[in-house]
Amino acid sequence: MKPRYLIALLLLIPLADSLALVALAGFVLDPLVVVALVVLTGLIGMLLVRAEGRHTMRKLERKLSSGQLPTDQLIDGGMLIAAGAFLLTPGVVTDLIGFLFAVPVTRYPIREVVKRYVAKPYLDRKMDGFVSGGTWTGGFPKQETYDVDPNSYRFDRDEESESN
């Protein structure tokens, strides 16, 4: 995703939050109830993120102690950090996004999408296809090779260095 689209998406979230809060406070619920709802969802969400973070850390430690790579746990940890940021931001839309990242039932499919469409293509670009199984057999990829004249190197020892 290009940075300008990401910035536009990040700017749309507060706009959607503001519109949702105005609509809820003006037409559906009493404004004090909306404020209480936002505070309550933030508190409950932070307790959930804290519990899930501890659970994820335990799983990460188990994976590391057994010598396995904790890729799923690292992605979960990143999503839990994002969930905490979304849940601390006041608003209905950000709370919804935060709960999607915090609840394991919805976090697992998001993690698989992130692995397949974000992490793997990024690592493939950085590693020249090595992550997805593309290997090379001669030399290094994307590196220039030079033909060297075999007579340009001296393989005999220098007599002066032996005498010293």
**What b/e sequence results for 19-57 when a residue is b if at least 16 CB atoms lie within 10 Å of its CB, and e otherwise?**
ebbeebbeeeeeeeebeebbeebbeebbebbeebbeebe
Of 56, 48, 58, 49, which is closest to residue 73 (Cα–Cα)?
A: 56
> Is residue 98 domain-resident?
yes
- The 10s digit of each residue's pLDDT in 61-87 is 999 999 888 889 999 999 999 999 999
Give pTM, 2 decimals: 0.71
The three-class DSSP label of residue 162 is helix
* pLDDT of the residue at 149: 67
161, part of any domain: no
Evaluate whether residue 149 is within a structural domain. Answer: no
Number of domains in the chain: 1
For residue 95, tell me if it sits in a domain. yes
80, part of any domain: yes
Residue 115 domain flag: yes
Q: Which residues of the chain have pLDDT under 50?
A: none
Residue 97: domain span: 3-130
Contact 98, 86 (CB under 8 A): yes
Residue 155 domain flag: no
How many beta carbons lie within 10 A of that of residue 9, not counting itself? 10
Q: Would 105 be classed as within a structural domain? A: yes
